[in-house]
Amino acid sequence: MRVRVDVGARLHFGFQNLSLAHERLYGGVGVALDSMGIVLRAEPADEVLCDWPVFSDYAERSCAILGVDGVEIDVVEALPRHVGLGSGTQAALATLVAVARAHGRSPSVRERAPELNRGGRSGVGVATFESGGFVVDAGHPTEQFTTDPPAAGEWTVPAVTARHDVPDSWRFLVVLPDGETGRSGDREDESMRSAVENADPSVADSLSALLVRRLLPAVAEGRLEAFGDAIGAFGRLNGAWYADEQGGVYRPPAGRIIDALSDVAAIRGVGQSSWGPAVYGLTDVSYAGKAVSAAERVLSGLDIDGRIHIAAPRNRGVEVTELG
């Protein structure tokens, strides 16, 4: 069977806790995006055929997991790597689904994600892949995830504790400044280990109150300004944990962009997604043009090159189309 697999990017607003003093560690919070994502076409083959090394590697691993010979994958659309949009998880899981469905198999995404080394900290990428929307995950038991995470695959993806559709009229401004990509692999592991070892447990208490009293009610009731202000505050609190690792509450040059965009009336809740350098802000469809113009002025004024996107929320998960 020839199939097409389509999934969106995600923004990661931060974690609920990084302190070993609390019972649950991590606990991601984020949202799925439309208009930016990954599109694959796949069909069965006797071996793995794919021109993109990242997708070829995930295809090899997926074929081994599923017990099939091979697959031919055409990458129609891809996300930029390591910029804070969830490219690794979305690429891994999209490839798994493409291989499985091409061979008439069930992908069992949540169960098999750890075998692809996904879901080891945040469950946001897996959850948004499955169902889109705004998601909060339960994190991991702290006794299992100390400063060193378990070996690859020796975990389950965190359960989703809250999920809400995001109003269709909302839009997310995404600014991708040129330059060094965000942290990944061993470098990310080292930075996270240091952040966990030094995390102030009182920050988690503040985040918990913010999540329950402001963020969840705002998205449930569709209040854009309140939601934007809450995700902005959530990101700033998270940045306190990473300041020593990334050179400030936000990594350069994201901090300067965030400061400038925070003064723009058409944009609420400006922050940094994951390790960046992606910067996000919340607006709505009627102000999207003004938000883009403001972002263009900010980049020009700061003499920073980059790309600017407007993305709608995505309230659905991965889509698979049979092509015959």
Cα–Cα distance between 8 and 152 in angstroms, integer?
Answer: 25
Identify the CATH number of the domain in which residue 147 sits. 3.30.70.890
Q: What is the pLDDT of residue 151?
A: 72
What is the model's pLDDT at position 260?
A: 97
pLDDT surpassing 60 at residue 76 = yes
pLDDT at position 254 is 94
- Residue 173 · residue 310 · CB < 8 Å: yes
DSSP at 113:
G
Mean pLDDT over each residue of the chain, to the nearest integer: 94
pLDDT over threshold 70, residue 263:
yes
- Distance separating alpha carbons of residues 128 and 97, to the nearest angstrom: 14
Question: Which tens digit of pLDDT belongs to each residue from 6-53?
Answer: 999 999 999 999 999 999 999 999 999 998 999 999 999 999 999 999
> In this predicted structure, what is the pLDDT of residue 155?
82
The reported pLDDT for the residue numbered 186 is 64
| Residue 154 binned pLDDT confidence (cut-offs 50, 70, 90) | confident
At 307, is the secondary structure helix, strand, or coil? strand
Q: How confident is the model at residue 162 (pLDDT cuts 50, 70, 90)?
A: very high
- The confidence band for 244, taking pLDDT boundaries of 50, 70 and 90, is confident
Residue 277: cis peptide before it, omega within 30 degrees of 0: yes
pLDDT at 208 over 60: yes
Q: Number of structural domains, the chain?
A: 1
Overall average pLDDT of the 269-283 stretch: 96
CB 308 within 8 A of CB 291: no
**Rounded average pLDDT over 299-308:** 97
CA 153 and chain centroid, separation: 20
Q: What is the pLDDT of residue 53?
A: 97
* Both tokens assigned to 72: 């031919």
Task: End-to-end CA distance of the chain: give it in Å, rounded.
Answer: 6
Confidence of residue 145 (pLDDT cuts 50, 70, 90): low
Buried b (16+ CB within 10 A) or exposed e, 34-58: bebbbebbbbbbeebebebebbbbb
- Rounded alpha-carbon distances, angstroms, from residue 192 to 156, 186, 209, 242, 258: 19, 10, 23, 8, 23
Structure tokens at 270: 């400006």
Q: Which of 21, 16, 14 is nearest to 142 (CA)?
A: 21
> Cis bond leading into 253, ω under 30°?
yes
Mind listing the pLDDT tens digit for each residue in 165-190? Answer: 999 999 999 999 998 765 556 666 78
For 219-231, write each residue's pLDDT tens digit. Answer: 999 999 999 999 9
What range does the domain containing 48 cover? 3-322
Asked whether the beta carbons of 10 and 37 are under 8 A apart, the reply is: no
Q: Are strands 48-49 and 70-77 parallel, antiparallel or unpaired?
A: parallel
For residue 182, the model assigns a pLDDT of: 53
Lowest mean pLDDT among 97-111, 207-221, 233-247, 290-304: 233-247
pLDDT tops 60 at residue 309: yes
Alpha-carbon torsion angle 127, 129, 134, 140, nearest 10: 20
CA pair distance 57, 55, nearest whole angstrom: 5
Token couple for 77: 């659309």
If you average pLDDT over residues 108-123, what whole number do you get?
A: 94
Residue 146 pLDDT grade (very low, low, confident, very high; cuts 50, 70, 90) = low
Q: What is the pLDDT of residue 193?
A: 81
